[in-house]
A and B are shown apart, each in its own frame.
Chain A
Amino acid sequence: MKKTSIRDLVTRFSVPLMFVLICAVCAPISGLSPTYLINEIVTRMGRNAFLILSLLIPIMAGMGLNFSMTLGAMAGEIGLILVCDWQIVGIPGMILAMIISVPISALLGLFCGKVLNMAKGREMITSYIISFFINGIYQLVVLYMMGPIIPIKHGSIKLPRGYGIRNTVSLLSMRQKLDNLIPLNIAGIKIPVATFIVVFILCIVIVRFRKTKLGQDMRAVGQDMEVARDAGIDVERTRIISMILSTVFAGIGMIIYLQNMGNIATYSSHSQIGMFCIAALLVGGASVDKASIGNVFLGIILFHTMFIVAPKAGTVITGDSMIGEYFRVFVSYAVITVALIMYETGKRRAKSREGQMLAQQQEVSDED
């Protein structure tokens, strides 16, 4: 059995360790009470977990970090906008928004999967650019088609010019309805039980899914596409299904996220969500080709602790809260950059190691 050295472990978990250090330093400086901090982390865990879990399936299928999860987020937002206009409130409103978002997400996931099949090996950059492309179409739909083509009745949602949706849509009628469905308060810490149950169900689905025929196929495709193809797996179809599932889950996740927030920033809510979810997953110790449910939860705890304490710590140290704001934003991007570099370096190292071994084998066979 191969022995893992401490150096290997430190290298592998360098990002989570770095974040533990940042949080350990910043948390006492920020002066925030432990109750407040835990409350915030628990709230953010309920808010973000579903979205981040949606990233696991494409990683399993070897498609890397799904930057196009924003497509699902857009579908979720469209569902919520329509439901708001129809005045369907509370949990029924959320369920209806999910039902509306699923076919839209599935279609977008299908499109994205087909495009990514044409760009094998460059999935992440392609999915990133697709999200910009679909954002343009989303804007066309929301800004010009909602009103004249898709009926929107309420003036509180529609722009005063008569078409298009306002910058912010209030979700007051369904704000934290899922979070507060089963109220539980332990030592001043509000626990969104119902949201956690939904997240737990998704975790179970992911764990069970891995054991199904399709899940095994996805893992095989993720390990080696050519070997999987030789084994009779329809690689392209499997990859498309993984994208559809991820996009659909992202759509549902976005609805859970926005019900917690209580409003939709129509033109910007989705644009940052992919980046922050990916950063959180990477902070949890995931990599481009390997991620687990544990990484999701560790990532949320560390990334969001940093998000909460950094501005306060920045204010205490420098007297300017903006320093902390800059810090948390640049750290998010830096984490993604570091993960991508580490992935590429690892790949190159593995390739060169394989080459060296092949050369050694050839030398041995020549000597014989």
Chain B
Amino acid sequence: MKIKKRDKATWIVRGVTLLIVIAIAVLMFIIGRGHTIYFDNKPFESAGDKIEAPYKVEVLVGGEKVARLKEGERGMVETMGQSFDMQLVITKEKNGKSSKVKVSLPIPYNMDGVVINLPAMLAGKGPEDYMTEFVPTPSSAELEDEEVVTDETEGLMDFGDE
């Protein structure tokens, strides 16, 4: 009877351990998801609606300046997790006064790369307007066929018979 009780306890401990490991894995999936965020300081146009881009936008992430964008420029930063916090220092006109804005955005899990149109976001448009997925175009090097070498002794057994 005692042995059966101990067996049961062992299985419970194993089950709980497995559950904890699975929970950690799920947590890592969520908090460790990497995204590349692209910031566009470009004029935004949609259904006849046009929003002009400011003269200069500086993007700070975690207190560190990651991009300094003049009109029409794009910057990027690598980030981890499902929410993205940044501080924008906006200068609307040349030699004009700059203002600071703090922004916190939820990043869609399924998107590796996200393009944020800063003028649209600052104008109060919805995420469906200012956020689009970045689809990379494969470089010519990526498209080039690659010879896979799996055997380090490849060719050593070639005695030139044929």
Contact = CB atoms under 8 A, between A and B. Distances in A.
B28 A161 contact: no
A86 B142 contact: no
A92 B78 CA distance: 15
B148 A268 contact: no
Given A99-B24, A99-B28, A164-B148, A155 B34 contact: no
B29 A86 contact: yes
Given A88-B28, A160-B144, A160-B145, A139 B138 contact: no
Interface string B71-94: 000000010100000000000000
Interface string B82-114: 000000000000000000000000000000100
A281 to B, nearest CB: 23
Interface of B: 21, 24-25, 27-29, 31-35, 78, 80, 112, 138, 142-146, 148-150, 152
B28 A160 contact: no
Interface in A76-95: 86-93, 95
30 contacts: A86-B29, A86-B33, A87-B34, A87-B35, A88-B33, A89-B34, A89-B80, A90-B32, A90-B34, A92-B28, A92-B32, A92-B80, A93-B28, A93-B32, A95-B24, A95-B28, A99-B21, A139-B150, A143-B150, A155-B142, A156-B142, A159-B146, A160-B145, A160-B146, A166-B146, A167-B146, A173-B34, A173-B78, A267-B150, A271-B152
Given A92-B31, A268-B152, 5 more contacts: A86-B29, A87-B35, A93-B28, A99-B25, A155-B138
A268 B153 CA distance: 12
A96 interface: yes
A173 B77 CA distance: 12
Interface of A: 86-93, 95-96, 99-100, 139, 143, 154-156, 159-161, 164, 166-167, 173, 267-268, 271
B142 A160 contact: yes
A89 B28 CA distance: 9
Given A90-B80, A139-B150, A143-B150, A161 B32 contact: no
Contacts of B28: 88, 92-93, 95-96, 99
